[in-house]
Amino acid sequence: MNLQGLVLILLASSSKEILSRWEQGLFGFSPIYSSHSFVSLTEKLVKLKLEVLLLDYELPGLKNQQSILELINLRREIKIVVFSPELPNEIEWKLFKAGVKGCCQNNMQPEQVRRVINAVLQGELWIRRTLTNQILNELIKVTHEKHRIEQAVNDLLENLTRREHEIAMLVGRGESNKKIAQQLVITERTVKAHLTKIFRKLHISDRIKLALIMKDAARST
């Protein structure tokens, strides 16, 4: 995707110098909005269907990663690029883990800003090469943990009786107790009794968790 297309971009900084550089980089393209404080930024995020946010890490009202998580929760699909003075690796890493798509120095030249936007719009990450090793290490850790949980779930699911497994599968498909009872030709009370046993065996407390576990198990097989 190129910036020639219609892309809604929001520039959030209180620094005229930074805003001017960003605007030069994005000259001639897209509807561009700007915010000078965290409060007005959140308001615009709610109102507008923004795709890209260029965010000055020193924006008044912004409190480190927590604020960025709030922004992402307001609009999950937004691609945030953070501009800041040089940050330590661990801070930058936390920003990426929160979901930002790029970290750049706030004195970045306009042409380079344009490249960054194009890259993140294409699903790329704008990240320092020194951090990519950390990404791979984290991927290994996350994958290992995923396999461990899958194995633990499978072990626990093996403890279910055939009937319990049947009921768990139906819960996974979103069926109500009434529907399950009708389908299996048993009473609702029996379904509830089975569910109590299933919850105990799987160490969970409600059917939502059971449904999620069954969906995950179905996906991994």
Partner 1 sequence: MQPITVAVVEIDQDQHIPVEKFVRQNQTNVELLTDTRSNYGNHVERRFVSRNSVTPVDNAIARIKRLNPRVLLVNANKSIDEYCDLLLALRYQCPDTQAILIIDETMAEENYLLKMLASGARGFISNNLDSLNFSKIVRAVDQGEAWVSRKMTGKIMHEIVSASRCESSGIGFDSPS
Contacts with partner 1, residue ranges (CB under 8 A)? 96-99, 101, 119, 122-127, 129-130, 132-133, 135-136, 138-140, 142-143, 145-146, 149, 152, 202-205, 209, 212
In the complex with partner 1, the residue whose CB is nearer, 111 or 206, is 206
Provide, rounded to whole angstroms, the least separation between the CB of residue 119 and partner 1: 6
- Residue pair 48/74 in contact (Cβ under 8 Å)? The answer is no
In the complex with partner 1, the residue whose CB is nearer, 8 or 204, is 204
Any idea which residue has 């943990």 for tokens?
A: 145
In the complex with partner 1, the residue whose CB is nearer, 105 or 182, is 105
- Residue pair 171/195 in contact (Cβ under 8 Å)? The answer is yes
Provide, rounded to whole angstroms, the least separation between the CB of residue 123 and partner 1: 5
Provide, rounded to whole angstroms, the least separation between the CB of residue 98 and partner 1: 8
In the complex with partner 1, the residue whose CB is nearer, 17 or 124, is 124
Task: Please give the full DSSP string across 138-155, using - where no structure is assigned.
Answer: HHHHHHHHHHHHHHHHHH
- Look up residue 135 and give its amino acid: I
- Any idea what DSSP says for residue 5? S
In the complex with partner 1, the residue whose CB is nearer, 7 or 18, is 7
Task: Please give the full DSSP string across 183-215, using - where no structure is assigned.
Answer: HHTS-HHHHHHHHHHHHHHHT--SHHHHHHHHH
Provide, rounded to whole angstroms, the least separation between the CB of residue 48 and partner 1: 23
Rounded Cα distance between 73 and 91, Å, is 19
In the complex with partner 1, the residue whose CB is nearer, 163 or 201, is 201
Provide, rounded to whole angstroms, the least separation between the CB of residue 178 and partner 1: 26
- Any idea what DSSP says for residue 48? S
Rounded Cα distance between 24 and 128, Å, is 24
Provide, rounded to whole angstroms, the least separation between the CB of residue 64 and partner 1: 17
